[in-house]
Structure 1
Amino acid sequence: MGVDAERRIHAPADLALVDAVHDALEELWREVPDVSDDDRLLFGLAVSEVVTNVVEHAPGDEPATVVVELSVDHDRLLAVLSDDAEPALIRLDEVHMPAEDAESGRGLALALAALDELRHETGEGNTWVLRRDRRGPA
């Protein structure tokens, strides 16, 4: 089965990117209205957390350039984020939820809990793959 809807964003790693991704997700939900509320909420949370981490932690004097590809098909929700920043030294197998009184550090733990797959690859930058299998109709 093919893709039901998709969006592509190419932008600097700044706060405007986070807003653009939220807008693109809202467009996808309007285009594919049968995505369940739980899938929308959890996938959107995971994507938002990872995009925010990319924006906040991309090192360098100039913002990195990020390409975000979002797609929805009958079986899954998928986001692929690629940037040209220095490779991030992240071990997803060591990510855990911080203590209740911690002021940060929950983003990747929340994303891992909400997704069926969260993968980080490095090379000429970073690539994040976020996949949530659809659980059923709205």
Structure 2
Amino acid sequence: MSSDVLAHALVEGPADLNLVDAVHAALESLWNAVPDVSDEDRMLFALAVSEVATNVVEHAEGPDHPAVSIRLEVDPGALTAVLTDDADPALIRLDEVSMPGAEAESGRGLALALAALDELVHEPGQGNTWRLRRRRRPA
């Protein structure tokens, strides 16, 4: 963690829907700690983090209950999240992600995250690492 971090939170647990609830609670604590984050930044960053976390929970394969760690940070210039898991590496190419048609019932999560963020990186390896970054805009 760099010295200019204004607030941070860490969420850890098995890849299940309780983790997504814990992420929402952690984001709320960040907004309380740094109230000058704009409503637009809050909404779009929370949407992106929630979508990626939900994808991890829904699609993580490997150990019976893959473990997930999510570090959230607010600094003067950006909102960042790093999600790591010990699941099998996801076979996804972010450069090929696009919004599905209006009739599709799923498949929008990563496309929404890409639209809401300035940077979304997936690094497969011993599990997966997802790096999310949104530059803060003036309120």
TM tier, smaller: over 0.9
Which whole-Å CA distance do the structure 1 matches of 2:66 and 2:86 have between them? Answer: 6
Q: 1:8-87, aligned counterparts within 5 Å?
A: 8-60=10-62, 62-87=64-89
Matched, 1:91 2:87: no
User: What does residue 136 of structure 1 align with?
Assistant: 138
Normalised to the residue count of structure 1, the TM-score between the two structures is 0.97
Structure 1 stretches of 5 or more lacking a match? none
Q: How many percent identity over aligned positions?
A: 67
Which whole-Å CA distance do the structure 1 matches of 2:105 and 2:123 have between them? Answer: 27
Per-residue Cα deviation, 1:26-84 (whole angstroms, up to 9, x for no partner): 00000000000000000000000000000000113611100000000000000000000
Which whole-Å CA distance do the structure 2 matches of 1:136 and 1:17 have between them? Answer: 30
Aligned length in residues: 137
Which whole-Å CA distance do the structure 1 matches of 2:63 and 2:45 have between them? Answer: 31
Q: Secondary structure at the match of 1:54?
A: helix
Q: Tell me the C-alpha RMSD between the 2 structures.
A: 0.9
Query: Measured at CA, do residues 48 and 73 of structure 1 come closer, stay the same or move farther in structure 2, by a change above 3 Å?
Result: same
Moved over 3 A (4+): none
Per-residue Cα deviation, 1:71-109 (whole angstroms, up to 9, x for no partner): 000000000000000000000000000000100000000
Q: Secondary structure at the match of 1:59?
A: coil
Query: Measured at CA, do residues 39 and 90 of structure 1 come closer, stay the same or move farther in structure 2, by a change above 3 Å?
Result: same
Which whole-Å CA distance do the structure 2 matches of 1:79 and 1:3 have between them? Answer: 12
Which whole-Å CA distance do the structure 1 matches of 2:28 and 2:80 have between them? Answer: 14
